[in-house]
Amino acid sequence: MKKKECPSCAMEVDDKADVCPICQFEFPKRNPLYQWLAIILALFFLLMFVL
């Protein structure tokens, strides 16, 4: 089971948790579209500097 650290209380919680069970910190939801966009832009900039 994958774990992540709560930035508020530093407890290890389940990777799929939306809220920390200790301090009730709400983890931000990531939009996969932004992640793909960032990867594509990074590749684009790398290709521009290489060529």
What is the extent of the structural domain holding 7?
3-50
Q: Report the predicted TM-score, pTM, of the whole model to 2 decimal places.
A: 0.55
Binning pLDDT at 50, 70 and 90, where does residue 19 land? very high
Residue 22 dihedral angles phi and psi, to the nearest 5°? -90, -55
Averaged pLDDT, 11-31: 92
Helix, strand, coil in percent for the chain, rounding step 5: 35, 15, 45
pLDDT, residue 1, reads: 79
Is the confidence at residue 51, as pLDDT, over 80? Answer: no
Total tally of structural domains belonging to the chain: 1
- For residue 3, the model assigns a pLDDT of 95
14's enclosing H/E stretch is strand 12-14
Note the pLDDT of residue 27.
93
Distance CA 51, CA 49 (A): 6
